[in-house]
Amino acid sequence: MNGILGYATYLPYYRLQRSAISAALGGPPGKGTRAVASYDEDSTSMAVGAGRRVLASLPGDLAAVYFATSTPAYLDKTNATAVHAALGLPPPVGAFDMGGAVRSAVGALGAGLASTRTSLVLAADIRTGLPGGEDERDGGDGASALVVGPGSAEHPVIAEHIGGGSATGEFLERWRVPGEAFSRRWEDRFGVHALLPHVGRAVTAALVGAGVMPDAIDHLIITGTHPRAVAAFARMSHARPEVLVDGLASSVGNTGAAHPGLLLASALDRAEPGAVIALVVLADGADVLVFRATDTLPGRRQSPTVAEQVAAGRDDLAYPTFLTWRGMLARQGPRRPAPTQPAAPPSLRSEAWKFGFVGSRCRDCGTRHLPPQRVCLKCGAVDHMDAERLADVPGTIATFTVDRLAYSPSPPTVLAVVDFDGGGRYRCELTDVDPTAIAIGDRVEMTFRRLYEADGVHNYFWKARPLADSAPAPSAGQGQGA
């Protein structure tokens, strides 16, 4: 039976205290935090973050990558191809966007589960709205990755897909005109009226198909585009509190297309073998997927868990910085030229380097080169190189500086010379870092980022960030790791 072979999530480093919004703009004091993608992240780069984690323990023998987002970096051009390149996947693996709507994500997951081949289903979103609004406050940024398919002896199904149901309707509940930075919504109570009948139909169909009674559900995930309707269905379900999976509203916020995968991951972090997990997504109708955890799940949970990722963030982001990053506040930068757009032919020539962080290693003397070189730095051998991907190799800071003059979408630029474990050096930007707390000898890992946008071109490349191990440990009681 088809099912989930692996899962992972990516939450950005920063959290915005909701009280920071009310402190700046007035209104009732906000509670909790929301996750915030950094200035150098977008839906594509966060999808890479989640994809790297899930593929670290699974093979790359995928048939296709499906990438769902309501905030695509490009239209016309496929965004999943950049993810594909950053994950180092071979050309025969397809890469497709499931674009535009929040609902695309659960649709992509359902399609992947229905396929006879193995698929990587990615979802990522940056959710915000106009300053002071509900979407800004209650939205969140993040990504989820699920590998789904028939499984194998080596990579067994960790959660069987035992049933599903959908109900589709056409109504104006939440929408956004292409090019606009925020969503529009109809009156709140109308959404409950329009959505709830669909939820009932889809849930009934799914449970009948799966052959399970409602009270057999061990983990019930209810999420969607409409908080009031989600809450209403949670009440109607009469599910016991321990069965309802926390929607992470108080810590992460609603991550749009990424949220179904994020909450499914949260459930998989904890589900025992045999447990039934139901995912209910309210968006332009309702979609329900039902899973049963297998005996192989406990040994294949993601690390860090969702709870650990939630706890690992930094929660003191200033509200003006948040507004600047989301393009809501134009700020004066240094008197320096803006960068020029990356050119297409050199970007194609260096695809493996630029997107995959692939260097070269000398066949004669073993010296590593970043970027890849044809002539060996040490022994001078010409064209005796093997390609070597270094995206997952950690490194150590040899020296560093903080550049307050260079152009950056969010000055200052933090720069480090990184020496990689096993050889190779590269001078690159640091991100997700406190500029006042860097030292020679600090450990770093690579992360795929959008450096800047110039003339309509997103410049994707790699930066280093403090190694997760050296990040603050999760607080007691929040870690759920196997």
Partner 1 sequence: MASKGIRDRVAIVGMGCTRFDEHWDKSTDDLLVDATEETLTSAGVAKEDVDAYWLGTMASGMSGMVLAKPLKLGTKPVSRLENLCATASEAFRNACYAVAAGAYDLVMAIGVEKLKDSGYSGLVLADAPGDGTIGELSAPALFSLLAPAYGNKYGVDQAKLKEVFTRIAWKNHHNGALNPRAQYRKEVPKEVIANSPIVAGALGIFDCSGVSDGAAAALIVRAEDAPRYTDKPLYVKALSFIAGAGRGAIDPDYDYTTFPEVVLSAEGAYEQAGITDPRAELAMAEVHDCFTPTELILMEDLRFAARGTAWQEVLAGTFDLDGALPVNPDGGLKSFGHPVGASGLRMLFECWLQLRGEAPPERQIKTEKTLGLTHNLGGVPGECVSFVSIVGSRPSA
Q: Where on the chain is the footprint of partner 1 (CB under 8 A)?
A: 334-337, 339-343, 345-347, 349-350, 353-354, 369-371, 373, 377, 398-408, 413, 415, 417, 419, 423-429, 440, 451-452, 457, 459-461
CB of 402 to partner 1, least distance (A): 6
Residue placing its CB nearer to partner 1 in the complex, 56 or 377: 377
Minimum distance from residue 467 beta carbon to partner 1 (Å): 18
The answer to whether 36 and 317 have CB atoms below 8 angstroms apart is yes
CB 314, min distance to partner 1, A: 23
If the CB atoms of residues 298 and 380 are measured against partner 1, the closer one turns out to be 380
Least Å distance, CB 391 to partner 1, is 14
Alpha carbon distance 296, 156 (integer Å):
7
- Could you tell me the smallest distance in angstroms from the CB atom of residue 181 to partner 1? 25
Least distance from C-beta 59 to partner 1, angstroms? 28
Looking at beta carbons only, is 94 or 339 nearer to partner 1? 339
Q: What is the CA radius of gyration of the chain?
A: 22
How open is the CA angle 394-395-399, to the nearest 5 degrees?
A: 155
Q: Which is nearer to partner 1, 185 or 458 (CB)?
A: 458
Distances (CA, A) of 229 to 196, 222, 248, 330: 7, 10, 16, 36
Q: How far is CA 226 from its chain centroid?
A: 21
Smallest gap from residue 448 Cβ to partner 1 (A): 12
Nearer to partner 1, 134 or 386 (CB): 386
Minimum CB separation from partner 1 for residue 41, in Å?
Answer: 16
> Is 126:34 a contact under the CB 8 Å cutoff?
no
Which CB atom, from 156 or from 394, has the smaller least distance to partner 1?
394
**Minimal distance, residue 77 CB to partner 1, in Å:** 16
d(CA 407, CA 423): 30
Considering the complex, state which of residue 159 and residue 370 has its C-beta at the smaller distance from partner 1. 370
Query: Closest by alpha carbon to 24, among 331, 317, 320?
Result: 320
Nearest distance, CB of residue 122 and partner 1, angstroms: 23
The number of CA neighbours under 13 Å toward the Cβ of 54 is 32
CB of 425 to partner 1, least distance (A): 5
Report the residue number, 189 or 427, with the smaller CB distance to partner 1. Answer: 427
Distances from the Cα of 472 to the Cαs of 17, 315, 438, in angstroms?
18, 12, 15
Query: Could you tell me the smallest distance in angstroms from the CB atom of residue 143 to partner 1?
Result: 22
Count the Cβ atoms, other than its own, within 10 Å of residue 398: 13
One-letter amino acid at 186 equals W
